[in-house]
Amino acid sequence: MVRLLGAVGAVVLQTLDHVGDMLVLLKQAFVWLFRSVFDPRIRMGSSALNTQIIRVGVRSITIICLVSAAVGLILSLQMAPPLGELGQKDKLANIIGVAVLRELGPLISAIVLTGYAGAAITAEIGTMVVGEEIEALEAHALNPVRFLVVPRVFATCTCMAALGVFASLVSIGASIGVSILVIDLPFVVYWQNLLFQVKVVDFGTGVAKSLVFGLLIGVIACANGLRVTGGAAGVGAATTRTVVESVVAVVVADLVFTAIFYALGLF
């Protein structure tokens, strides 16, 4: 029993230490970002930001389009028969609109971005740690957080906000297509019900979630990359840890958002 409690305590302390490192890293990233905005002597290289935005966001569009379209098709084909039995097939647009804008668009984008960009960020920074490139930056009085972490966290936040909206639009577009071609639901009916059901708060909810999801993915990926030890094996372990932790953090954050919005009556 004592050994079990000791093992549990060690895991808890290790987890808290890891979370603390992420919070410290997040604070440092915000400080450098704030200083770059208000202090003219400190600038964030636009080339680094553009490179990360293209790498994280632009190159993820294809896979996110594919997954989002598939989800829109699946939801439409799955819900059409039971709604038809109830004589409410035209309400398909109401359900798809809310579900996609509030939940599935941001969530799908975050999970895809975790596997596509989060793991790559960890592997890249981890390789720099193993190759002692981080120490070389510090030896030249260059802060790793400023030059490595800030561009990547900024890119994941901004790209996630855009990709969440884009994924929602692709899912709704795929749902409209299958509704017209397969379910025999007229476009006018679908569009009218969609506009009737969807509100500005639905769109705002999705964007807010996407920003937080992007922040979590960026910070977790960078923190795990900077903590790499043990050479190539350590890089692989950190990459796996990033994917697992990011998915769990995104789902838990989604649950927290949902609970808050439910308590505030924003549904």
**What predicted TM-score, i.e. pTM, was given to this entire model?**
0.88
Q: Which amino acid is at 261?
A: F
Which pLDDT does position 70 carry in this prediction? 92
Residues 167 and 172: their CA atoms lie apart, in Å, by 9
pLDDT at residue number 249: 92
The pLDDT value given to residue 250: 92
Domain spans in the chain, listed from the N-terminal domain onward: 12-264
For position 170, what pLDDT does the model report? 92
Q: Are 108 and 167 in contact (CB under 8 A)?
A: yes
Give 205: exposed, middle or buried? Use CB within 10 Å, 0-12, 13-18, 19+: buried
Burial of 97 (0-12, 13-18, 19+ CB in 10 A): buried
What would the pLDDT profile of 166-214 be if each residue is shown by its tens digit?
999 999 999 999 988 888 888 888 898 888 888 888 888 888 899 999 9
Regions of the chain with pLDDT less than 70:
1-2, 39-40, 44-45, 266-267
The sign of the dihedral angle between the CA atoms of 14, 19, 21, 24 is negative
Match 């969440």 to its residue by tokens: 164
